[in-house]
Chain A
Amino acid sequence: MKKSKIAAILSALFMGAGQIYNKKIVKGILLAALELYILIFGIPYFQYSLWGLCTLGETPQYFVNGHVYGDHSVRLLMNGILSVLLIAISVAMYVYNIKDAYRTAKRAEEGKKDRVPKKFLDKVDRLFPFLMLLPAVVACIFLVIFPVVSSFTIAFTNYSSPYHIPPKNLIDWVGLDNFKKLFTMKIWSGTFSHVVIWTIIWGLITTFTTYFTGLFLALLTNAKMVKFKKLWRSILVLPMAMPGFISLLIFRLMFNGMGPINQILNNFGIDSVRWLTDPTIAKVTLIGVNLWLASAGTMVYISGILTGISPDLYEAASIDGATESQKFRKVTLPLVLYQTAPILVMNLAGNFNNFGTIYLLTDGGPTNTSYQYAGSTDILISWVYKMTMNVNQYSMATAISILIFIVVALVSVINLRRTRAFKEEDMIE
Chain B
Amino acid sequence: MRKLSLILAMTMVIGLVGCNKSYSNTAPETEAKESGSDVAGTQTELKPEADASLVIWEDDDNRFEYMKYVAEKFKEKYSINVEVKKMLDIGTKLVQDGPSGLGPDLLEAAHDQAGSLLTAGLIQPNDTDAQEVKDNFPSSVTDCLTYEGKLYGYPMTLSTFVLIYNKALVKKAPESFSEIFDFAKEFNDPSDNKYAIMWDVTNSYYSHCFIAGYDGYIFGNNGTDPNDIGLNSKGAVDGLTYLKSFKSILDVNSADVNNQIIDGLFTSGKIAYTIGGQWNITQYQNAGIDVGTCVLPKLDNGKDALSYLGVQTLYVNSYTKYPNASKLFAKMAISEEMLQKRYEITKEIPARSSLADSEAIKKDEFSSTFMAQAQSSVPMPAIPQMSNVWTPYGNAMKAVWDEDQDPQEALDTCVDTIKSLYE
Contacts and interface: CB of A to CB of B under 8 A. Distances in A.
B123 to A, nearest CB: 10
B5 A99 contact: yes
Contact of A169 (B17, B121, B323, B324): B121
B391 A390 contact: yes
B387 A258 contact: no
Contacts of B116: 161, 392
A54 B17 CA distance: 9
A64 B31 contact: yes
Contacts of A165: 119-121, 384
Interface string B148-177: 000000000000000000000000000000
A277 B256 contact: yes
A162 B25 CA distance: 23
A369 B405 contact: yes
Contact of B385 (A71, A162, A253): A162
A58 B21 CA distance: 11
Nearest to B9: A91
A94 B4 CA distance: 12
B327 interface: yes
B119 A98 contact: no
Contact of A370 (B6, B8, B413): B413
A369 B396 contact: yes
A393 to B, nearest CB: 7
B91 to A, nearest CB: 12
A161 B421 contact: yes
A12 B8 contact: yes
A85 to B, nearest CB: 13
Given A66-B124, A94-B9, A61 B402 contact: no
A48 B23 contact: yes
Given A63-B318, A258-B256, A168 B22 contact: no
B398 interface: yes
B120 A168 contact: yes
Contacts of A367: 394-395, 398-399, 402
Interface residue tally on A, bucketed by range:
35 or more
Given A65-B35, A66-B320, A166-B121, A369 B253 contact: no
Interface string B314-337: 001011100110110000000000
Contacts of B414: 369
A95 interface: yes
Interface in A193-213: none
A257 B256 contact: yes
A352 B38 CA distance: 57
Given A65-B35, A161-B384, A393-B421, A98 B25 contact: no
Interface string B258-298: 00110000000000000000000000000000000000000
Given A167-B99, A369-B413, A58 B22 contact: yes
B323 A257 contact: no
Interface residue tally on B, bucketed by range:
35 or more
Contacts of B316: 66
Nearest to B416: A187
Interface string A66-99: 1111111001000000000001000100110011
Contacts of B420: 185, 187-188, 372
B9 A391 contact: no
B417 A69 contact: no
Interface string B17-43: 101011111110001101100100000
Taking each of A258, A266, A372, which has the highest tally of chain B beta carbons within 10 Å of its own beta carbon? A258
Contacts of A369: 392, 395-396, 398-399, 405, 410, 413-414
A95 B12 CA distance: 12
A369 B231 CA distance: 15
A52 B23 contact: yes
A258 B21 contact: no
A256 B264 CA distance: 14
A133 B421 CA distance: 47
Contact of A65 (B255, B260, B323, B387): B323
A63 B125 contact: yes
A359 B191 CA distance: 30
A102 interface: yes
Contact of A102 (B1, B119, B122, B384): B1
B313 to A, nearest CB: 17
Interface string B366-395: 000000000000000000110110111011
A67 B121 contact: no
A8 interface: yes
Interface in B32-87: 32, 34-35, 38
A256 B252 CA distance: 11
A74 B270 CA distance: 52
Contacts of A365: 255
Interface string A246-273: 0000000100111100000010000000
A160 B101 CA distance: 23
B2 interface: yes
Contacts of A64: 27, 31-32, 34-35
A367 B402 CA distance: 9
Contact of A161 (B2, B319, B387): B387
A175 B119 CA distance: 23
Contact of B13 (A58, A87, A277): A87
Contacts of A163: 422
A57 interface: yes
29 contacts: A8-B1, A8-B5, A12-B4, A47-B16, A61-B121, A64-B31, A64-B32, A64-B34, A66-B326, A67-B31, A68-B318, A69-B27, A72-B99, A94-B12, A161-B384, A161-B421, A162-B421, A166-B99, A169-B121, A187-B417, A257-B255, A266-B191, A277-B255, A277-B402, A366-B255, A369-B395, A372-B417, A391-B421, A392-B116
Nearest first, the 5 closest Cβ-Cβ pairs linking A and B are A66-B323, A168-B121, A257-B256, A162-B384, A98-B5
Given A165-B384, A366-B255, 4 more contacts: A48-B23, A51-B19, A54-B17, A257-B252
Interface of B: 1-2, 4-6, 8-9, 12-13, 16-17, 19, 21-27, 31-32, 34-35, 38, 99, 116, 118-122, 124-125, 127, 191, 193, 226, 252-256, 260-261, 316, 318-320, 323-324, 326-327, 384-385, 387-388, 390-392, 394-396, 398-399, 402, 405, 410, 413-414, 416-417, 420-422
